[in-house]
Structure 1
Amino acid sequence: MVSTETRKEVEEHLGLVPTWIDNLSEPANDHSWGLVRDFELGETELSAREKALIGVGVSAAIKCPYCSHFHKEEARMEDVTEAELEEAVNLASTTQYFSTILHGAEVDLDDFVDETDEIVEHIKEQRAAAEAD
């Protein structure tokens, strides 16, 4: 169970202490809230909108209905449209799909990295040429 101090802080931030808080075990319970507070809800290099979209994609990929619900609502609070939510889920699914193919085919990682570097360089050259026109 989280400390009394942490319970007060959670309630201040969220308006209530959600039941999942009581499922955080020692010794990481107070620290776990700190991760949510500082990393997910706090100001970081990513905007709240970006973090919410990442959360939507990841929660879909790991097939977690709890996370999916939370992160979709979080995204909606950041004015993410339904079309953007769908796109985040679709992007997550394609990443998972191709990851399965790459792992199943046992594609050599070094070869993959080299090919990716070539692809990135090609795309950068195309973009530079398009900007020059």
Structure 2
Amino acid sequence: MVSNDTADEIQEYLGVVPSWIEALPDAAADHSWNIVRDLQLEETDLTRREKALVGVGASAAIQCPYCIHFHREEAKLEEVTEAELAEAFALAGDVRYFSTVLHGAEMDYEEFETETESIVDHINEQQAQAADDD
């Protein structure tokens, strides 16, 4: 259960103290709210819109109906379109798919890092060349 001060703060932010807050163990309740408040609700390096897209993609990837519902609603508040939601879900699925392939094939991680570095270098060269052409 959260402390009275934290419950008051949650009420101010959300208009209600959600039941999932009450499901947290006492030792983690206030701290868990602080993470939600500071990372999801407050200003950070990511915009609220970007956070909503990350949230829906991650929610879909872990297949959590609670998180999907919450982050879809969050995305609606940020005027994320259905097309953007579909793309976020597809990207999350793409990451999950290739993670499964890489882990299943037991790809060598050092080789993967080296190949990724090579890809990044190539793309940087292409972008620099395109900028020079302009």
Q: Same-fold call, TM > 0.5?
A: yes
Percent identity reads 60
Please report how far the alpha carbon of residue 100 of structure 1 lies from its aligned counterpart in structure 2 after TM superposition.
0.3
Distance 1:71 1:116 in 2: 31
- 1:80: which partner in 2? 80
**How many residues in Structure 1 have an aligned counterpart in Structure 2?**
133
- 2:46: which partner in 1? 46
Deviation per residue, 1:70-129 (Å, 9 max, x gap)? 111111111111100110000000000000000000000000000000000101111111
Distance 1:30 1:131 in 2: 50
The one-letter amino acid paired with 2:110 is: D
Distance 1:16 1:26 in 2: 19
RMSD: 0.7
Query: Which segment drifts farther, 70-79 or 87-96?
Result: 70-79
Flag as ranges the 4+ runs of structure 1 deviating above 4 A. Answer: none
The yes-or-no answer on 1:21 pairing with 2:27 is no
Distance 1:28 1:126 in 2: 48
Deviation per residue, 1:22-52 (Å, 9 max, x gap)? 1010211111000001111111111111111
Distance 2:115 2:104 in 1: 18
State the SS of the aligned residue for 2:26. coil
Deviation per residue, 1:1-33 (Å, 9 max, x gap)? 111111111010001111111101021111100
Distance 2:5 2:55 in 1: 27
- 1:67: which partner in 2? 67
- 1:127: which partner in 2? 127
Distance 2:75 2:109 in 1: 34
The yes-or-no answer on 1:36 pairing with 2:19 is no
Distance 1:79 1:87 in 2: 15
Q: Which runs of 5+ in 2 are unaligned?
A: none
Distance 1:129 1:78 in 2: 36
Distance 2:19 2:103 in 1: 38
